[in-house]
Amino acid sequence: MSEPVANGAAAEATGPTFSVEKIYVKDVSFEAPGAPQVFSEQGQPSLEMNLNQRVQRVADALFEVELGVTLTCKLVDKTVYLVEVRQAGLFGLNGFDEQTLDAMLGVHCPTILYPYARQTVSDMISAGGFPPFLLQPINFEGLYAESLRQRQAQGQAGTFGDVAGNA
């Protein structure tokens, strides 16, 4: 015979919990400094993407994770467009050990935020009059592992929860 659902839910509530409280755009910027002349220029543009992450403890078990995406498109030495998006979320994390908490903040949270940032970047580029552009998926687990190696090499014992982290 199975246990009533209420007892199962109570048992689960005593373990680690994760929740998405809110997802929001914290800051956006789009610049096309050479418009409208840039629309008639020919050539192969180059794209440079910068990705970073900040984590801030808001309350005991509440964290703001901010994922920053900067995409710069250049043609020769002229900036065609520059897009900056700071996608953020409030996440409830309770009952995790420090190592797991660090991994959740460094991998799981930005993985949730990235599709929102990606869509905002794409929408801004299209609204700026440029061909649609979709950012490729990001391996946040790989970026986190590299960040962890760098922190260990520098002798930093901090976690994403108490210091800003870069992805």
pTM beyond 0.75: the answer is yes
Q: What are phi and psi of 164, to 5 degrees?
A: -70, 140
- Per-residue pLDDT, 158: 56
Please return the burial class of 67, using the count of CB atoms within 10 Å of its CB with bins 0-12, 13-18 and 19+.
buried
Arithmetic mean of pLDDT over the chain: 88
Local confidence band at 66 (pLDDT 50, 70, 90 cut-offs): very high
pLDDT over 80 at 165, yes or no: no
Structure tokens of 26?
Answer: 């914290």
| Peptide linkage before 36 cis (omega within 30 of 0) | yes
C-alpha to C-alpha distances, 118 to 35, 56, 108, 140, 158, nearest whole angstrom:
23, 22, 16, 14, 29
The hierarchical CATH code for the domain 15-153 is 3.10.420.10
Q: Which of 113, 131, 133, 29 is closest to 63 using CA atoms?
A: 113
Convert the pLDDT of each residue in 90-149 to its tens digit: 999 999 999 999 999 999 999 999 999 999 999 999 999 999 888 999 999 999 999 889
Find the mean pLDDT for residues 68-96: 96
